């Protein structure tokens, strides 16, 4: 079974731009969570989607948003990029009835210049 | 302001020795805990999990111990190999965050270096 895939793997943007990252969960998984990983803050929860609905949200500004499609694929969007948004963005998926066991993708490395 | 990188605790062990990585969790209401391994350039990889109704769980070469009294979690790796070199994170499930799952809260990580 294929793992969680994320595209693109690397991205360079400039301040003020916006970016969309994509995540395809493991087949059969319906929950998708997003995390931001930085050297300064470690791994921080952004939001979680289940059946196209945002179920939980972390403590991030409204510039960070996401959505989930009917096939469970998810996208996250960051608008008006800031230098501090440079990070590794990780997507994790889990099954309906084993939600806590989250399986991570390789991440998208975003660099904001 | 200048951002400061996390000062990751580092554990250096000799190949073949046993490794013990410790983690203190924050929420006494957390009832599910996971250990992840993250190699350079990769996403976190699931290693082993444990629920709060257990004190110990064993996997292949790995054992997780849970001490709820002091909110402490440990990961033991037997016969550590060079391929075990990575950053190890513990994570707790915060059900108080709402919903049936909540979200995972990660520790800062421990860097394990294995000397051949």
Encode pLDDT of B37-74 as tens digits. 999 989 999 999 999 999 999 999 999 999 999 999 99
Q: A94 to chain B: nearest residue by CA? A: B101
Encode pLDDT of B6-39 as tens digits. 567 999 999 999 999 999 988 888 888 999 999 9
* Rg of chain B, C-alpha, whole Å: 15
| Model confidence at B3: pLDDT above 50 | no
Q: Which of A45, A100, A104 sits opposite B43 (nearest CB)?
A: A104
Encode pLDDT of A17-31 as tens digits. 999 999 999 999 999
A106 contact residues in B (CB cutoff 8 A): 41-43
Q: Which of B93, B107, B109 sits opposite A100 (nearest CB)?
A: B93
A102 contact residues in B (CB cutoff 8 A): 34, 46, 104
Contacts of A31 (CB under 8 A, 6+ apart): A25, A48, A49, A50, A55, A93, A94, A95, A96, A99, A102, B101
Encode pLDDT of A33-69 as tens digits. 999 999 888 999 999 999 999 988 899 999 999 999 9
| Model confidence at B1: pLDDT above 70 | no
């Amino acid at each position: 079974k294929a793992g969680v895939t994320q595209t693109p793997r690397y991205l360079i943007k400039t301040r003020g731009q916006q970016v969309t990252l994509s995540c395809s969960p493991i087949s059969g998984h319906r929950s998708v969570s997003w995390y931001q990983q930085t050297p300064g803050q470690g791994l921080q929860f952004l939001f979680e989607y289940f059946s196209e609905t945002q179920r939980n949200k972390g403590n991030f500004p409204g510039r960070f948003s996401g959505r989930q499609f009917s096939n469970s694929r998810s996208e996250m969007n960051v608008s008006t990029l800031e230098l501090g948004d440079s990070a590794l963005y990780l997507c994790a998926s889990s099954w309906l009835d084993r939600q806590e066991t989250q399986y991570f993708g390789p991440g998208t490395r975003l660099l904001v210049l | 302001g200048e951002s400061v990188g996390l000062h990751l605790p580092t554990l250096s062990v000799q190949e073949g020795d046993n490794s013990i990585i410790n983690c203190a969790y924050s929420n006494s209401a957390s009832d599910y805990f996971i250990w992840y391994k993250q190699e350079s350039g990769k996403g976190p990889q699931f290693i082993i999990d444990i629920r709060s109704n257990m004190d110990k769980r064993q996997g292949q070469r790995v054992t997780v111990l849970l001490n709820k009294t002091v909110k402490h979690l440990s990961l033991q790796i037997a016969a550590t190999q060079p391929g075990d070199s990575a950053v190890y994170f513990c994570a707790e499930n915060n059900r108080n965050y709402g919903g049936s799952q909540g979200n995972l809260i990660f520790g800062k990580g421990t860097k394990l270096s294995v000397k051949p």
